[in-house]
């Protein structure tokens, strides 16, 4: 996995291909971090509504995205 700071630097590249690849990698990293944090929040008893509020999305959106991913 690439370092987030390196990716953030690459986003500013004058080479559009390099910048776009960095954006895609940052998006993947963000998705992974969000998934980990949502799982952690659920493990600690936060409701879907609480998680949705903190993420700035609807309860339905967060539940649809993560509700069936319980391990």
pLDDT tens, per residue, the chain with 71 residues: 578 788 888 988 899 999 999 999 999 999 999 999 999 999 999 999 999 999 999 999 999 999 985 54
What is the reported pLDDT for 36?
97
Task: From residue 48, give the alpha-carbon distance in Å to each of 8, 28, 34, 68, 71.
Answer: 30, 22, 14, 12, 17
User: Is 9 within the bounds of a domain?
Assistant: yes
User: Is 52 within the bounds of a domain?
Assistant: yes
User: Is 44 within the bounds of a domain?
Assistant: yes
User: Is 30 within the bounds of a domain?
Assistant: yes
User: Is 27 within the bounds of a domain?
Assistant: yes
pTM of the model: 0.81
Residue-range definition of the domain harbouring residue 35: 4-66
User: Is 71 within the bounds of a domain?
Assistant: no
User: Is 16 within the bounds of a domain?
Assistant: yes
User: Is 41 within the bounds of a domain?
Assistant: yes
CA angle 8, 4, 49 (to 5 degrees): 105
**Residues 50, 39 contacting (CB under 8 angstroms):** no
**Residues 46, 38 contacting (CB under 8 angstroms):** no
How many domains in the chain? 1
């Amino acid at each position: 996995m690439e370092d987030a700071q390196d990716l953030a630097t690459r986003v500013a590249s004058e080479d559009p291909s390099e910048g776009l690849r960095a954006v895609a990698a940052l998006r993947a990293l963000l998705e992974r971090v969000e998934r980990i944090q949502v799982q952690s929040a659920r493990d600690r008893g936060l409701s879907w509504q609480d998680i949705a509020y903190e993420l700035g999305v609807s309860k339905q959106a967060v539940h649809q995205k993560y509700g069936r991913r319980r391990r």
